[in-house]
Amino acid sequence: MKQFINRLSLSLIVVLGFACTTVFEQTVDQLTTREVVKRVRQLSAELNLTPDQKAKIRPILMTEVPKLKAVRDDKSMPQPEKTAKMHEIFNGMKDQIRPLLTPYQIKKLQKMKEDSFTRKA
């Protein structure tokens, strides 16, 4: 009987651990999705993106935003290395998004970036 209770307890712990992990992963995925939707809305408002452009940009951001989060949250990585890695990811996103934009949108995006650097300085 005691052995049965031990096995049952162990099984319950494993099931609960799996359930907690799954809920956590879903929460992270939902946060990523919310952040991407928010960013696409911001870009859409600033650049007047077409529905087709939004549909093509969203998957790019869905792939890259978790990478940015992982770098940001990595406590073992030195800050200069984090900054370099984040620039690398941003440049990769820019290289994927730029071909989807019109020349006017590209100029506007560049101005937004310059304005952002001005505010930070």
- Tell me the Ramachandran region of residue 48: left when phi exceeds 0, alpha when psi lies from -120 to 50, beta otherwise: left
Average pLDDT over residues 36-48: 87
Domain ranges (residues) in the chain: 2-120
Residue 114: predicted pLDDT? 81
Asked which of 15-24, 64-73, 91-100, 110-119 is least confident by mean pLDDT, the reply is: 15-24
Q: Which residue has the higher pLDDT, 74 or 33?
A: 74
State the amino acid at position 75 in one-letter form. Answer: K
Contact 61, 43 (CB under 8 A): no
The pTM assigned to this predicted structure is 0.65
pLDDT in tens, 62-77: 888 888 888 888 899 9
Residue 120: pLDDT band (50, 70, 90) is low
